[in-house]
Chain A
């Protein structure tokens, strides 16, 4: 378990696109904060964190068949899924924390970590980074605000419950998907 997690951390740390995304997330948060957005700078940090989660999980399925190499190294799929989640929180958690600090709301870190897990779960289910980006951002930035504004009577589940549900679905699908 520890070795599998360590391997997943190395994987995340050696992927150039994740470093670029982290840097851009911080940069956008810093640059937009002075413009005084109504809801603060956290929503912008959130966008970066969502993309980070999609790329971290989705890169396994891009060309080259890396997911097969991962399953040959760690064939127990539920274990690999847990190792991936822990590695993601360990590697990208600090990115979220710094982003929340830069936005001036360190308390938002927990919410950002949930967003990270949700984005990674969706990318694991969809196995296509472009599609997963579109799905996650549309859901977060367009559908959810619309539902809140136009259908206030609809009761949305609390974020931790929703994220846990999607993560469980992703783990089950991950354990069964043909790669």
Chain B
């Protein structure tokens, strides 16, 4: 369960987030939707303790991420990039991550198997393709078998088979009772995967509810999205 309560963030004179509030519940996939630069990544970075908010609280199971003792066992995060140094092999990268949270070494091989990188684990991260880098990032997120998954644009860089795999994986994770929060600017993708939808624009939450509630009387999620973010949609 993820709770965002009145999170505000200002950088210089720019308002990045303004009193952002929503919840992502266990057993459901929550889609976090917004145009580029709307504040999706900023919200996730505040949630993960990478950025400070000037106001509000962002909690995972009632606790701040930075207060977690073994955070990888509570929440797994996929941000842009694999997080691996280019000169290090994928296995070595996962091994230090596992060690940092006291996870057994066998988890490294399990997650490599899970994301389909077992055969390439000895390659240096710098030699990975974009799709493989994303898989390596996902493997790191899954190391601690966390009940909460936080993914920023998870299908970026994946091929069609990879996208289908990711979709099934996210649905299965929610079915197992995990909390899944993913950001995206791809409407079609979210309409296929999400149970709940939060729309953010210019750092302000514009809509929050189940997929059906947010779509409402609009024909598609895309129509609903463009209606809520109208001013910007028209400029394209």
Taken together as a complex, chains A and B put the C-alpha atoms of A75 and B69 apart, in Å, by 9
Residue-by-residue, is A37-81 near B (CB-CB < 8 Å gives 1, otherwise 0)?
A: 000000000000000000000011011111011111111100000
- Cross-chain contact A179 with B83 (CB below 8 angstroms): no
Residues of B within 8 A of A75 (CB): 48-49, 65-66, 68, 71
Number of A-B contacts (CB under 8 A): 93
Complex-state Cα separation, A78 to B71, whole angstroms: 16
> B169 at interface (Cβ–Cβ under 8 A)?
no
CA distance A6 to B99 in the complex (A): 6
Say if the beta carbon of B17 comes within 8 Å of chain A: no
Q: Does A148 contact B (CB under 8 A)?
A: no
Residue of A nearest to B137 (CB): A69
Is B29 at the interface (CB under 8 A from chain A)?
no
Residues of B within 8 A of A11 (CB): 88, 96
Which residues of chain B are near A76, meaning CB under 8 Å?
A: 66
Contact in complex: A73, B92 (CB < 8 Å): no
Given A14-B89, A75-B66, residue A69 in contact with residue B84 (CB < 8 A): yes
Most buried by A among B84, B88, B98: B88
A73 touches B68 (CB 8 A): no
A69–B140 contact, CB under 8 A?
yes
Complex interface residues of chain A between 3 and 31 (CB less than 8 A to chain B): 3-4, 6-8, 10-11, 14-17
Complex: chain A residue closest to B133, CB-CB: A64
In the bound assembly, the distance between CA atoms of A100 and B6 in angstroms comes to 57
Task: Assess whether B101 is in contact with A73, with CB atoms less than 8 Å apart.
Answer: yes
Interface residue ranges of B76-132 to A (CB < 8 Å): 77, 79-89, 92-93, 95-102, 125-126
Tally of B interface residues using CB under 8 Å: 34
- Provide the main secondary structure of the chain A interface: helix
Known contacts A15-B87, A75-B49; is-contact A7 B92 (Cβ 8 Å):
no
Q: In the complex, what distance in Å separates the CA atom of A39 from the CA atom of B79? A: 50
Q: Do the beta carbons of B99 and A7 come within 8 Å of each other?
A: yes
> In the complex, A14→B126 CA distance in Å?
14
| A residues contacting the other copy or chain, number (CB 8 A) | 29
What is the bound-complex CA distance between A63 and B43, given in angstroms? Answer: 23
Check B51 for interface membership: any CB of A closer than 8 A.
yes
Chain B residue contacts of A17, Cβ below 8 A = 87
Closest chain-B Cβ to A177's Cβ sits at a distance in Å of 10
A-B contact pairs, 23 of them (CB 8 A): A3-B102, A6-B99, A7-B100, A7-B101, A8-B96, A11-B96, A14-B96, A16-B87, A59-B87, A64-B81, A65-B82, A65-B83, A66-B93, A69-B93, A71-B49, A72-B50, A72-B71, A72-B72, A72-B83, A74-B71, A74-B101, A75-B49, A178-B51
Chain B residues close to A by CB (< 8 Å): 48-51, 65-66, 68, 71-72, 77, 79-89, 92-93, 95-102, 125-126, 140
